[in-house]
Amino acid sequence: MWHIPNDEEHNHIDGRTHEHHIHMVNDVTGGQHDIILRLGVDSCPHCKRPYPKDDLGQLDHIQAIQEALEMLEKNHAAVMDYAAQRGIPIKVGPLHSRVPNGHRLAQSGKHKMLIPPRKQDK
């Protein structure tokens, strides 16, 4: 459900700020999450003296992405359970593209709502 879209815009290094931007999307709710890995020069929090960063080889972007995905999946499951237990619809964003089994999509004014299964339908 959480994934990085397959184009450069969603996984790139900003040459101006020296940050690795990773943009993730949830295809169920349309949720979005950004991971930003700072590749630029770090500085001492007290004196502000910069520390050179000449070895980025120890920075594991795949591990950072995996940790974020695990947290996002856990949070998504908790939100879906919360909504289902209470019968509360979830307003989905424009990037929403999938309806989970048992749920249905309904229009409410200008918004699309993901309706959880009724308690007796579970």
The pLDDT value recorded for residue 122 is 47
Region 84-95: mean pLDDT is 94
The pLDDT value recorded for residue 1 is 85
Q: Say yes or no to pLDDT of 120 above 50.
A: yes
Region 72-87: mean pLDDT is 94
Lookup result for tokens 């424009």: 94
Most confident among 32-41, 47-56, 67-76 (mean pLDDT): 67-76
Q: With pLDDT > 90 as the criterion, what percentage of the chain qualifies?
A: 57
Q: Say yes or no to pLDDT of 31 above 60.
A: yes
Q: Say yes or no to pLDDT of 18 above 70.
A: yes
Give the burial string for 7-39 (b: 16+ CB within 10 Å, else e): eeebbeeeeeeeebebbbbbbbbbbeeebebeb
Q: How far apart are CA 70 and CA 38, in angstroms?
A: 21
The pLDDT value recorded for residue 90 is 96
The pLDDT value recorded for residue 51 is 66
Q: Is the pTM of this model over 0.85?
A: no
Residue 69 Ramachandran class (φ > 0 left, ψ -120 to 50 alpha, else beta): alpha
